[in-house]
Amino acid sequence: MNTAKNSHTIDVVFVLAVACAFAASVLTVLMLGANVYGSMQKTSEEEFKSRVCLSYIAAKIHANDSLGKLHVGTYEGAPALYLDAEFDGTGYNTIIYSYDGWLRELFCEKGLELELSSDSGTPVLEIGSVSFENALPNLLSIEFQGSNGDSGKLFVNLRCGGGVGT
């Protein structure tokens, strides 16, 4: 009688153990899948920001690649790239800079001094910082720092042959 009771208990315990092992396996596979998806998403997002930021600036430079139309400087202390244009006899600047964790673009009349604030400029992309440098008279160096510490560098050769002033 006792033996029958013990074997009955063992049966139940064994079944429960198998069920627990099954549940643990399910959880493990789910966690593995979630981790893989999470890391893929994170990598994809970081690469997107870096690639898009540098590609956007490169596209802007190529669109304004004329002699003397590009200037590297500062805008309210922040490293900035000035792209000159003229419409109806009036000079305008497109200023690309980073402020408050965002890559921003400001289109304004040449010489108009606007106070740097979170309202000035159109936010383009969330980044850490961006800096510009004249590596050569016809070569611009753009360095990007992401908000999560990743960085990237891009060199842009000016087809106009020069004219990157300060």
Partner 1 sequence: MKVRSTGSGSGMFLTELLMAILIFAVASAICLRVFVAANHVSAESSRLNHAVASAQNCAECFKATGGSLPETAALLGGAFTGTRAIEVRFDSGWQLLPPGEPSFCYVAAIVRMPEKAGSIDAQVTVCDIAGTKIFTIPVSSFQDQEAEL
What residues make contact with partner 1 under the rule CB under 8 A?
4, 8, 11-12, 14-15, 18-19, 22, 25-26, 29, 32-33, 36-37, 39-40, 43-44, 47, 51, 54, 135-136, 138-139, 151-158
Q: Which two tokens stand for residue 85?
A: 């244009």
Nearer to partner 1, 29 or 74 (CB): 29
How far is Cα 98 from Cα 105, in angstroms, rounded to an integer? 8
Residue 162, phi then psi, degrees to nearest 5: 150, -170
**Minimum separation from the CB atom of position 105 to partner 1 (A):** 22
**Minimum separation from the CB atom of position 24 to partner 1 (A):** 11
Cα dist. 30→19, 25, 36, 54 in Å? 17, 9, 10, 36
**Minimum separation from the CB atom of position 57 to partner 1 (A):** 13
Nearer to partner 1, 29 or 67 (CB): 29
Q: How many residues does the chain have?
A: 166
Nearer to partner 1, 29 or 59 (CB): 29
The contacts of residue 122 (CB under 8 Å, 6+ apart) are: 104, 105, 106
**Minimum separation from the CB atom of position 119 to partner 1 (A):** 33
| Three-state secondary-structure class, residue 87 | strand
